[in-house]
Amino acid sequence: MTPTSPYGSWPSPLSAAAVTAAAPRYDGARFVGDEVWWGQSLPDQGGRIGVIRRLPDGRTETVLPAPWSARSSVHEYGGGAWTATEDGELLFVSGTDGRVRALVPGGTPRPLTPDAPHTAHGGLRWQAGRLLAVRERADPGGRPVREIVGIPRDGSGAADPSRIEVLATGGDFVAQPALSDDARRLAWISWDHPSMPWDRTRLRVRDLIDATEAVTPVDHGTAVLQPEWHGEDLLFADDPTGRWNLFRLPAGGGDTVAVSPADEDTGGALWVLGTRWFGVLDDGRILAVRTQGTSRLVLIDGGAVTEVDVPLSAGLSVEHVQGSRALVIGAGEKTEAAVWLLDLDSGAATRVTASTSPWDESWLPTPRPFTVDGPHGVVHAIDYPPTHPSVVPPAGELPPYLVWVHGGPTSHAPASATTKIAYFTSRGIGVLDVNYGGSTGYGRAYRERLNGQWGVVDVDDVAAAAAGLAAAGLADPDRLAIEGGSAGGWTTLAALTTTDVFAAGVSRYGVGDARALAQDTHDFESHYLDGLIGPLPEAEQLYLERSPLTHPERFRVPLLILQGDDDRVVPPSQAEAIRDALAAHGVPHGYVRYPGEGHGFRRRETLVHALETEYAFLGAVLGFATPGVPRFEPTAGGDVRA
């Protein structure tokens, strides 16, 4: 007879420690001779980003050893913190000081840029024998300046800053430099406040030999992304039709030409500088990501489009192409993110980085697309039902559900059963991941649904998705919890104070006061709320009305707050104001403040503690036992510290 156990209390081998170890984050990949190099988070080493290589015989070695970490702080979220030369020298940004260094494997890092205060680098590219970077510095008045620079590989720029050449400037932000094969022409994108890079950017081109002023060959009031040279032509992604598609700017200028238009996106939110959605092969074929909810890889050859047969459908990035081969980072429906090597002539696909998951697919839920009609239109979500190979629930019991709200808010939740999701579903807790209005992956109109409506549309959409799941008989309407981080934490808090759908909530470094966020946040997002709510001071009343902390009396259900001590995006003061409001109104809660963590947790001990604490909290407030995890009792006062 199949064992019976209540939802939420199913026995599971997926421990928080094993889940954390099985799900590293990948940060770039590159061909280096006959080797493949990639960046990878190492939670058990303080969350640093190491660079690892696979040798031709299949062995792996560490290129960037501890304590070095390849991490950028440009635009706050960084990205593109390392690259490599063809002859095997690593070029990386040190996470401790923002300087660029070079390292021959087995040697000692040597500086390529000077020790300059308030200066950071990111978006590194090694092209045509030159090292390009986005440099972020402060001018004499303390205002941020961003520029594309060329950094000498010989290290002369470390002692003499004048050797570092400013190649492009202009605009509040610059990103994605691309150098032509003859090293003559530089293309990049730029944008100005109050736009974000998914609102409006400009494509810029400059002749470096003639040192001419930059020209703007494309400026449609759209969001141009990722310029790439192919011979004399320039390829890029743009969304004048409402979907990011590829376009070609012929040599010598003229009108742009659409490349294989589709009602899907080849592009997304440029949160980090290293993200790439397509690559151009030597013979002119294009390997591209296309996304409509889920993602796929296609090979564009003139007018022919062929889907690439790989088990990948989520979080895809075309990292590097060489000949007919490509390195792609991505995940599948039941496959954690990994680096994949594709041979586009033979069709072979090889996973370069092996998953450390010790569990077979029977423990992983199958993602199910779920849509519901909300007050503002259709709402897209992914349902991960409770899944266990050998346990069933008591007859008639409906499962508790954890409704996830992604951050951004202009981000995208892909359909991929990660080990973190399986941590909950293997214990009998369903997960509903909601791509509320404002999310990417469904076109410009869907993401612009949130314009001026942050705190309204996102809240209505997650509430509609959760209520719709319960109405369909798939979830217990009395045991719906909501969780989100950063902007997702804002939606979580707002949903708890303006709806009666949820019985509990978990906020990870969530925004409670929109005015405080506008005042405290970094420059990249300093005008983001102009579009999401409205410009200050004109829209101050809207900020007050929508901020959960304005209405502390509306907090009624238990809440767990998880916060990093060194968060510069959403400082701990916001989390502590929420904690104080909960305590003042006698609402059961827990507050955990993690030393040394910023906006997003990286350390192994933090990730393990946060996951176990969340599970124990849900068991305490939704009424199920949590075997293997100490019970957690929310109180109306007091803190729980890591």
* H or E element in which residue 577 lies: helix 572-584
Residue 79: which pLDDT band, with cuts at 50, 70 and 90? Answer: very high
Whether residue 350 is found in the same domain as residue 368: no
Q: Give the predicted TM-score (pTM) of the model.
A: 0.93
pLDDT 10s digits, 363-386: 999 999 999 999 999 999 999 999
At 641 the pLDDT is 42
On the question of pLDDT at 408 being above 50, the answer is yes
At 335 the pLDDT is 83
At 517 the pLDDT is 86
Whether residue 328 is found in the same domain as residue 371: no
Specify the residue for token string 């300093």.
Answer: 526
Percent of the chain with pLDDT over 90: 81
Cβ neighbour number for residue 471 with a 10 Å cutoff: 12
Q: 101-110, 181-190, 218-227 — which is least confidently predicted?
A: 218-227
Contacts 24+ apart (CB under 8 A), 307-312: 308/342, 308/344, 308/349, 309/347, 309/349, 310/340, 310/342, 310/349, 311/335, 311/349, 312/340
Q: Are 186 and 148 in contact (CB under 8 A)?
A: yes
Average pLDDT over residues 208-222: 83
Whole-number Cα distances in Å, 427 to 363, 368, 431, 590, 602: 10, 18, 11, 22, 24
On the question of pLDDT at 104 being above 70, the answer is yes
What CATH number is given to the structural domain containing 451?
Answer: 3.40.50.1820
- The more confident residue out of 612 and 20 is 612
Q: Are 629 and 424 in contact (CB under 8 A)?
A: no
Distance in angstroms (rounded) separating the CA atoms of residues 355 and 341: 15
Distance in angstroms (rounded) separating the CA atoms of residues 119 and 113: 10
Cβ neighbour number for residue 1 with a 10 Å cutoff: 4
CA dihedral 439, 441, 447, 450 (to 10 degrees): -20
Residue 356: which pLDDT band, with cuts at 50, 70 and 90? Answer: low
What CATH number is given to the structural domain containing 255?
Answer: 2.120.10.30
Distance in angstroms (rounded) separating the CA atoms of residues 629 and 631: 6
On the question of pLDDT at 573 being above 90, the answer is no
Question: Final residue of a domain: which of 356, 378, 412?
Answer: 356
Distance in angstroms (rounded) separating the CA atoms of residues 229 and 284: 11
List the beta bridge partners of residue 431.
Answer: 384, 402
At 254 the pLDDT is 77
Distance in angstroms (rounded) separating the CA atoms of residues 18 and 477: 31
Q: Are 506 and 483 in contact (CB under 8 A)?
A: yes
pLDDT 10s digits, 332-342: 998 889 999 99
In a domain, 9, yes or no: no
In a domain, 532, yes or no: yes
Q: Is the peptide bond preceding residue 537 cis, with omega within 30 degrees of 0?
A: yes
At 253 the pLDDT is 73
Distance in angstroms (rounded) separating the CA atoms of residues 1 and 95: 55
Q: In 52-64, which positions are buried (b, 16+ CB within 10 angstroms) versus exposed (e)? A: bbbeeeeeeeebb
Average pLDDT over residues 103-120: 96
Question: Final residue of a domain: which of 275, 305, 340?
Answer: 275
Whether residue 242 is found in the same domain as residue 300: no
Distance in angstroms (rounded) separating the CA atoms of residues 121 and 227: 20
Residue 183 token pair:
């090293």
In a domain, 21, yes or no: no
- 438 is in which domain, residue-wise? 364-622
Residue 177 token pair:
């430099």
Q: In 629-642, which positions are buried (b, 16+ CB within 10 angstroms) versus exposed (e)? A: beebebeeeeebeb
Residue 386 token pair:
């409770």
Whether residue 267 is found in the same domain as residue 391: no
Residue 600 token pair:
């997003």
At 638 the pLDDT is 45
Helix/strand/coil for 121? strand
At 12 the pLDDT is 95
Distance in angstroms (rounded) separating the CA atoms of residues 126 and 170: 22
At 228 the pLDDT is 97
- Residue 358, CB half-sphere, CA atoms under 13 Å: how many? 9
At 219 the pLDDT is 77
In a domain, 636, yes or no: no
Whole-number Cα distances in Å, 631 to 563, 620, 626: 20, 7, 7
Q: Are 476 and 470 in contact (CB under 8 A)?
A: yes
Whether residue 316 is found in the same domain as residue 179: no
Name the CA radius of gyration of the chain, rounded.
24
Whether residue 587 is found in the same domain as residue 484: yes
Average pLDDT over residues 529-554: 94
In a domain, 497, yes or no: yes
Whether residue 329 is found in the same domain as residue 373: no
Whether residue 346 is found in the same domain as residue 372: no
Cβ neighbour number for residue 466 with a 10 Å cutoff: 26
Question: Final residue of a domain: which of 236, 260, 275?
Answer: 275
Instruction: Tell me the one-letter amino acid at 474.
Output: L
Strands, DSSP E only, in 14-157? 26-32, 35-42, 48-54, 60-62, 82-84, 90-93, 100-103, 110-111, 120-127, 130-138, 144-151
In a domain, 299, yes or no: yes
- The more confident residue out of 76 and 125 is 125
Average pLDDT over residues 121-131: 97
Whether residue 82 is found in the same domain as residue 216: yes
Residue 58: DSSP 8-state: S
User: How many structural domains comprise the chain?
Assistant: 3
Distance in angstroms (rounded) separating the CA atoms of residues 365 and 386: 7
At 1 the pLDDT is 61
Q: Are 292 and 441 in contact (CB under 8 A)?
A: yes
- DSSP secondary structure string, 191-206? E-TT--TTT--EEEEE
Q: Are 409 and 12 in contact (CB under 8 A)?
A: no
On the question of pLDDT at 640 being above 80, the answer is no
On the question of pLDDT at 391 being above 90, the answer is yes
Average pLDDT over residues 604-633: 92
Instruction: Tell me the one-letter amino acid at 548.
Output: P
Average pLDDT over residues 235-262: 92
On the question of pLDDT at 599 being above 70, the answer is yes
**Of 498, 502, 506, 507, residue with least CA distance to 553:** 498
Q: Are 562 and 612 in contact (CB under 8 A)?
A: no
Q: 35-39, 354-358, 493-497 — which is least confidently predicted?
A: 354-358
Q: Is the peptide bond preceding residue 194 cis, with omega within 30 degrees of 0?
A: yes
pLDDT 10s digits, 454-473: 999 999 999 999 999 999 99
Average pLDDT over residues 594-623: 91
At 642 the pLDDT is 36
In a domain, 2, yes or no: no
Whether residue 183 is found in the same domain as residue 153: yes
Percent of the chain with pLDDT over 70: 98
Whether residue 253 is found in the same domain as residue 402: no
Residues 6+ apart with CB under 8 A from 154: none
Whether residue 199 is found in the same domain as residue 246: yes
In a domain, 631, yes or no: no
On the question of pLDDT at 586 being above 60, the answer is yes
Distance in angstroms (rounded) separating the CA atoms of residues 638 and 588: 10
Helix/strand/coil for 186? strand
Question: What rounded mean pLDDT belongs to the chain?
Answer: 93
At 214 the pLDDT is 81
At 73 the pLDDT is 93
Whole-number Cα distances in Å, 447 to 198, 264, 410, 458, 535: 9, 14, 7, 11, 19
Cβ neighbour number for residue 17 with a 10 Å cutoff: 16
Q: How open is the CA angle 493-499-505, to the nearest 5 degrees?
A: 40
Distance in angstroms (rounded) separating the CA atoms of residues 98 and 71: 8
